[in-house]
A and B are shown apart, each in its own frame.
Chain A
Amino acid sequence: MPGSSFSIELTVVTNDKLKKITLKLVKAPQDDGSVDWSLDFTLADRKKTTDQFEEVINLKVKVKPAHAKKAEATFDKKSLDSIQTSQTAVAAEAAKLLDNGQISKKTAEGEVQRIIGVRAG
């Protein structure tokens, strides 16, 4: 069965409608036979519900080759599990800290990487 090149994007707005998280999982097979997985994480917020969302931070990270199988497993299991979604909240908090200059970009990206990496097995 041949693979495919796909992107799946989820957008969730919190029920107070002030924060929006967009998570995109991308599978991009390569001409050399390898497969690149990447995660694109965006946090946006607004002060009032009638305002437009403004992007707080956008982090694009390539999933580590060591995590490629976990990315595949995440997709095959048809869901991010509860630990992964919780780690997404950690990544969102890390994104805010990066925006405030309190942590480095590498640290923040590490938390995004862990969204896939935290999956067991």
Chain B
Amino acid sequence: MKRLYSLCYRGKQVASITLMLVFWLASPNLAQSAPEQKCTQELVFYKDHNYKIREVRVESVFDFLKAISSDLKSLKSEFVLQKGGDFTVSGLNQGREKIENHLEEIEKYIDPQRRIKVILGKVDNCDDTVGNEQLDVVYRIFTTNYNSYLSHTWEIKNKDVKEPSEAAAETIVTNKKQSFLRVNPFVSYNRTRRLYGGIQLVLTTPSKIFNTFKINSSSSQTGNVEGAELAGSQTPQKRALNYFDYSVAYKHSDLTAGNNRLREGHFRLQFNAATRTIGDKGIVLRYGAALEGGNQQSNLVNEAISQKSLANSGYGALKTYIGTTWTSEDYSFTGSYGLQLGNNGASTKVEFAKHLVDVAFTKRWVPDRQTPGEVHKILTIETRLAAGAIQNFGGIPVSERFFGGNVPQNFISNDSWEILSNPLIRSISQNRLNSDSTIGAIGGTKFLSFNLTVAKPVWGYPLLKKEIAEDPEFHNALDFSVNSTRQFITDYYVTKLNLYAALVDEVYADNSSGRGTLKSDLKGMTEILNSLPTELPDDTPQELRDRYEEQKDLLDGKTALLVLLVSNKKDLSPQLLGILTDGDIEGCRNDPEECSQVTRIIRYSNEFRKVLKDTIFAATAAKLQRLEQSLDERRKTLIEKIKNTDIGKARLLAGRDMKDVTTVINSVTKEVNLVAVSPIGIFDVARLSPDKYGTRFGVGGGIRLALVNFNITLGYAFNPKPAQNEGRGAIVFSLDVINLFH
């Protein structure tokens, strides 16, 4: 599960999250269902015995979002089955069809590479009391394309378009068709800024070049931050350039750092890109560059001069960065390196170089056995190691030195890629780890920090309702969908890897070698059939003429169809099994239409030969018989060769491709909680140089309330060795939105 790492302030969707909180509190979903009565009869029984409908429900895993549940529930008025009415099976079907059409309408503009959609209509809670027979009608919806739930609601637009993954890139093409305004007010607190709040406006448009415009502003008694950005993105889907985004931005900030004040304003041109996934592990490489220019001011002039730094100066910098991400179902890894070459803006000479390394690893333990209806108790351990060093050649602006604390500073401006550019320690308030005790509050030139967070839910409710989690048909439907889709993709890779290339040649090639092929046999069959008349002479008995025409027509049709099917060599490989294999042997014995394409031709040819023996074309029957034998031998040989072909590699690649589908399903069924309360443990270590007090620690804990993908964390981290102005500790408070489908 990829976490948008946040300690104090990262609540980019707090408005929507606040609304979710309100809706959640108003939602009845949390209430445990009263014990329900089972329905044990077939559906037609309830119709025949005039059961009344107590309630009609439409359930989906996103019912907690009032906008979603309201949208689906508004459909109910269009159902034939209504509360108080008589139950009918046809009515149950009609409701399901209504839901299907509705989802199809919503998903019109969305193009995922894989999608599974399940809609179940059932009866539930059947009361068999004579004279008071009643039941509930329930529709259960599941789709792996969760955008279909979210695409048309204003409060949630958690697009993963910035995620450097192929799956995300698929949705960009069609999602760009809609304009969208998002308003995110937010509020947070830390000891440095005190209580602060602000707003972010994000406008996305269908423009091809720049499709996002953002403005943000936040302020408090002690400081303010403002910014504006014009951004766009493209998806060329090349190996080294799968996705890239670009932006032009301006940022201004005025914040305290101990008894110092840091003010800066700069423009930025930025470019970020990501490759396609590499190898079987799904590794993605990211890279980018940014050009910045502006100015900065700080108060401690003498202290700055003593450290060959500039309290007030212009500022110019070229940043480059590279990183990698690697995610599996239960862990994720990111590693990044950033290099900044900068000066005081007066010349192009490089006056300082900043090096940054940031490595994060998250591991999750999902219990193998979980009880339906109980909170998913997933143990999560998050670790992060960051380091930085500055080479000072001619003078570094004070604002570019390292200031540590409990607010992460991102080296680049990117919502989904964070490279820490400061030591992160949650027991010290923002910017208060600033070398004050040694050289003055002008920041350090080297840092190292390590952060550890442990959390595990102890109470809550799972997202997937108990009734759905216990429904065997629901799980059957999901398994059917996943397994079948995986099989389709395996067939695709068998073709792409040319695993059946030799077999396709055996079917397709012309008879230049003299050995013959299935296609050459079909050609022979066609020539024989074309040499025969469509009808027998008029003096032939009518009954024989009728049989001749009927059998020839059948054989002509089947032969022509197979000739057409094998004429497209490019698409032949995935069809081989279907063309050659009878499947249901018993069925084939009883009805040639149940046989494979090749067996049908053999069977119909056999029947046609019986008719031919009674005609003047009896000699042709022997030729047909030889072709039947040849076709049958080739069919059996090809089937044997198919069975002996190793398609393990194709299965492996199919499994990898299915990851985005199985991730969604596993998340919904085994991991995501509707609400969960988790105690958390915190341990931080940080060191800033120069600093005479050496290593700082942060030890603490707290509580995390998770509402689906929104986390509220509140705790306290103690600073066991505080230096001056650092305080004994700091409140840990954060609002996080995490990617549900990691």
- Chain A binding surface SS class: mixed
The answer to whether A103 touches B487 (Cβ under 8 A) is no
Q: Kindly state the separation between the CA atoms of A15 and B576 in the bound complex, as whole angstroms.
A: 20
Q: Which residues of B contact A1 (CB under 8 A)?
A: 40
Number of A-B contacts (CB under 8 A): 198
- Asked if A118 meets B121 with Cβ closer than 8 Å, knowing A17-B113, A90-B565, the reply is no
Confirm or deny: B415 has a beta carbon within 8 angstroms of a beta carbon on chain A: no
Residues of B within 8 A of A70 (CB): 584
Instruction: State whether A119 touches B477 (Cβ < 8 A).
Output: no
Chain A residues within 8 Å of B709, by CB: none
Residues of A close to B574: CB separation below 8 A = 85-86, 89
Contact A9 B116 (CB under 8 A): yes
Q: Tell whether, in the assembled complex, residue B564 and residue A102 are in contact, meaning their CB atoms are under 8 Å apart.
A: yes
A107: shortest Cβ distance to chain B, in Å?
A: 6
Q: Which residue of B lies closest to A70 (CB)?
A: B584
CB-contact partner of A120 in B111, B114, B585, under 8 A: B585
Give the size of the chain A interface in residues (CB under 8 angstroms).
Answer: 59
Among candidates B111, B114, B118, B122, residue contacting A12 with C-beta atoms closer than 8 Å: B114
Closest to B120 in A: A6
**Contact: A5 with B92, CB < 8 Å?**
yes
Using an 8 Å CB-CB cutoff, how does the interface string of A9-25 with B read, 1 for contact, 0 for none?
11111110100010101
Could you say which residues of chain A place their CB within 8 Å of the CB of B496? 15
Contacts A6-B119, A6-B121; A85 near B93 (Cβ below 8 A): no
The distance from the CB of A111 to the nearest CB of chain B, in whole angstroms, is 8
Cβ of B476 under 8 Å from chain A: yes
Please report the C-alpha to C-alpha distance between residue A6 and residue B473 in the assembled complex, in whole angstroms: 9
B175 an interface residue at 8 Å Cβ cutoff?
Answer: no
A59-111 CB contacts (< 8 Å) to partner B = 70, 74-76, 78-90, 93-94, 97, 102-103, 107, 110
Q: Which of B574-626 contact A (CB under 8 A)?
A: 574-579, 581-587, 593-594, 596-597
B562-573: contact bitstring with A at CB < 8 Å (1 yes, 0 no)? 001100100100
Within 8 A of A (CB), among B475-494: 476-477, 479-481, 483-485, 487-492
Residue from B93, B484, B488 within 8 A of A5 (CB atoms): B93
Please, how many angstroms separate the alpha-carbon atoms of A87 and B579 in the complex?
7
The interface size bin for chain B is 35 or more
* Chain B, Cβ-Cβ closest to A102: B564
Q: Are A79 and B568 in contact (CB under 8 A)?
A: no
Taking the complex as formed, is B123 at the interface, i.e. its CB lies under 8 A from any CB of chain A?
A: yes
Complex CA distance for A114 and B594, rounded to whole angstroms: 7
Contacts of B46 in A (CB 8 A): 2
Name the interface residues of B105-127: CB closer than 8 Å to any CB of A.
Answer: 111-123
B115 A86 Cβ-Cβ under 8 A: no
CB distance from B646 to the nearest CB of A (A): 14
* Complexed CA–CA distance, A13 and B488 (Å): 10
Interface residues in A2-54 by Cβ distance below 8 A to B read 2-15, 17, 21, 23, 25, 28-33, 49-50, 52-53
Q: Is B561 engaged at the interface, CB distance under 8 Å to the other chain?
A: yes
Say whether B122 contacts A4, CB under 8 Å. Answer: yes
Q: B114 contacts A117, CB within 8 Å?
A: no
Within 8 Å CB of B70, what residues of A? none
Instruction: Name the CB-closest residue of B to A115.
Output: B578
- Provide the bound-state CA to CA distance between A102 and B565, in Å: 11
Chain B residue contacts of A87, Cβ below 8 A:
577-578, 583
Is residue B88 contacting chain A, with contact meaning CB distance below 8 A? yes
Quote the shortest CB–CB distance from A9 to chain B (angstroms).
4
Checking A13, A21, A78, A102 against B476 with a beta-carbon cut-off of 8 angstroms, the contacting residue is: A78
A7 to B44, alpha carbons, bound, how many Å?
Answer: 19
Contacts of A80 in B (CB 8 A): 480, 483-484, 487-488
Give the CA-CA distance A68 to B674 in the complex, in Å: 39
Residues of chain A within 8 A (CB-CB) of B39 are: 2
Given contacts A90-B579, A102-B564, contact A2 B41 (CB under 8 A): yes
**Is the beta-carbon distance between B481 and A93 smaller than 8 angstroms?**
no
Do residues B576 and A11 form an inter-chain contact, with CB atoms below 8 A? no
Complex Cα spacing A86 to B7, Å: 52
> Shortest beta-carbon distance, B492 to chain A, in Å?
6
Instruction: Given A52-B174, A107-B557, A120-B583, check contact A4 B480 (CB 8 Å).
Output: no
Chain B residue at smallest Cβ distance from A97: B564
B90 touching A7 by the CB < 8 A rule?
A: no
B96 at the binding interface (Cβ < 8 Å): yes
Residues A11 and B115 in contact in the complex (CB < 8 Å), given A93-B571, A93-B575:
yes
A86 lies within 8 A of B111 (CB): no
Cβ contact within 8 Å between B578 and A86: yes
Residues of A near B575 (CB, < 8 A) are 86, 89-90, 93
Contact yes or no, A118 B476, CB < 8 A: no
Q: Does B47 contact A (CB under 8 A)?
A: yes
User: B487, A7: Cβ atoms under 8 Å?
Assistant: no
Cα–Cα distance between A27 and B316 once the two chains are bound (Å): 66
Selected contact of A10 from candidates B92, B174, B484, CB within 8 Å = B484
Nearest chain B CB to A96 CB, angstrom units: 8
> Is B43 located at the chain interface by the 8 A CB criterion?
yes
Q: Is there a chain A Cβ closer than 8 Å to B237's Cβ? A: yes
For residue B89, CB closer than 8 A to chain A, the reply is yes
Establish whether residues B100 and A7, one from each chain, have CB atoms under 8 Å apart when the complex forms. Answer: yes
Query: How far apart sit A4 and B42, CA to CA, in the bound complex (Å)?
Result: 9
Interface residues of chain B, those whose CB is within 8 Å of chain A, are 39-47, 88-90, 92-93, 96, 100, 111-123, 170, 173-174, 237, 473, 476-477, 479-481, 483-485, 487-492, 496, 557, 560-561, 564-565, 568, 571, 574-579, 581-587, 593-594, 596-597, 657
Further contacts, 13 of them, CB under 8 A, given A11-B114, A12-B489: A2-B46, A5-B93, A11-B112, A13-B170, A31-B88, A79-B483, A84-B583, A85-B491, A85-B574, A88-B488, A90-B579, A103-B561, A120-B583
Chain A residues in the interface with B (C-beta under 8 A): 1-15, 17, 21, 23, 25, 28-33, 49-50, 52-53, 70, 74-76, 78-90, 93-94, 97, 102-103, 107, 110, 114, 117-121
29 CB < 8 A contacts A-B: A2-B41, A2-B43, A4-B121, A7-B118, A8-B116, A8-B481, A10-B115, A10-B485, A12-B489, A17-B237, A29-B43, A30-B90, A31-B47, A31-B90, A53-B111, A74-B480, A75-B477, A79-B483, A80-B480, A84-B583, A85-B491, A86-B491, A86-B575, A88-B488, A89-B575, A90-B575, A97-B564, A102-B564, A118-B578
List of 6 A-B pairs having minimum Cβ-Cβ separation, nearest first: A79-B483, A118-B583, A86-B577, A87-B578, A89-B574, A86-B578
